[in-house]
Structure 1
Amino acid sequence: MLQGKILRVARPTDRLDQVVRFYTEGLGLHILYRFENHDGFDGVMVGMPGSAYHFEFTHHQGHSVGRAPTQDHLIIFYLPEQLKWQQTLERMNAAGYKLVKSYNPYWDNKGVTFEDPDGYRVVLQNDIWNS
């Protein structure tokens, strides 16, 4: 069973500083750990302290990974409280990030979509997730 474990989503990037800014200044996540030149890799882990997930963004020096392969590569945050959802939108706008139309129109019904510097999309869904 995976119950009680921590989920790490790891992704390479060519724009490490810009991606970290998107997820911290825009979305409000925190830098949890940073490393430099670990066997040629730099990386930053972002998330909320004490939460069961975090994101790791890495850059392999001298290598290029390019942009997201499609507009439907998504991370979805469910923010059911209207005030917190609105505050997150305002923080994204204040950091200079603009809304994009979702590739799948379903996400535009109760949410909004932003695109990170690598072309990956983040949906802020003003709803609860029902399993």
Structure 2
Amino acid sequence: MPKLRVARPTDQLAAVLCFYRDGLGLTELASFTAHNGFDGVMLGAPQAPYHLEFTHQPGHHVGRAPTADHLLVFYLPERSEWEAAVQRMQAAGFAPLPAYNPYWDQLGLTFEDPDGYHVVLQHSAWAL
């Protein structure tokens, strides 16, 4: 089965780690320091076929998300799982905000990470 890594640079590695690990509840799978000039962390769920990688290159500025419509969507169909995810985000100090695309407000809540990227906690199953 293919595996997916979503990799993104950041100027705020520690704050991004707090958002995705402490708020979103992802597990820190690996990290590195000064690897070919980069620091980084990989987050996900153990044994899942995906993970997120955030990197920082000291002395290099990457800035914020280019638009408010750059987002990740996590589908959480079980009400208790969705409510726990929302509560964890809020307990970590992250408040929901209106989605750029109002579709996501119908069954979900949107949170902004320290770099301006949006994460939607969608209370529905992913059906294609």
- What residue is the counterpart of 2:83 in the other structure? 86
Deviations along 1:44-100, whole A, 9 cap, x unmatched?
000000001000000011100000000000100000000000000000000000111
Give the one of 45, 58, 64 matched to 2:61.
64
- What residue is the counterpart of 2:112 in the other structure? 115
- What residue is the counterpart of 1:55 in the other structure? 52
- What residue is the counterpart of 1:30 in the other structure? 27
Question: Partners of 2:90 and 2:71 in 1: how far apart?
Answer: 19
Question: Partners of 1:87 and 1:76 in 2: how far apart?
Answer: 16
- What SS does structure 1 have at the residue aligned with 2:6? strand
* Moved beyond 3 Å, runs of 4+: none
Q: Report how many aligned residue pairs link the two structures.
A: 128
Q: Give the CA deviation at 1:14.
A: 0.1
TM-score, L = length of structure 2? 0.99
Q: Does 1:7 align with 2:18?
A: no
- What SS does structure 1 have at the residue aligned with 2:7? strand
- Unaligned 5+ residue runs, structure 2? none
TM-score, L = length of structure 1? 0.97
**Identical columns (%):** 59
Alignment-mate amino acid for residue 77 of structure 1: F
Alignment-mate amino acid for residue 64 of structure 1: H
- Unaligned 5+ residue runs, structure 1? none
- What SS does structure 2 have at the residue aligned with 1:86? helix
Question: Partners of 1:44 and 1:109 in 2: how far apart?
Answer: 32
Q: Give the CA deviation at 1:129.
A: 1.0
Question: Partners of 1:67 and 1:129 in 2: how far apart?
Answer: 28
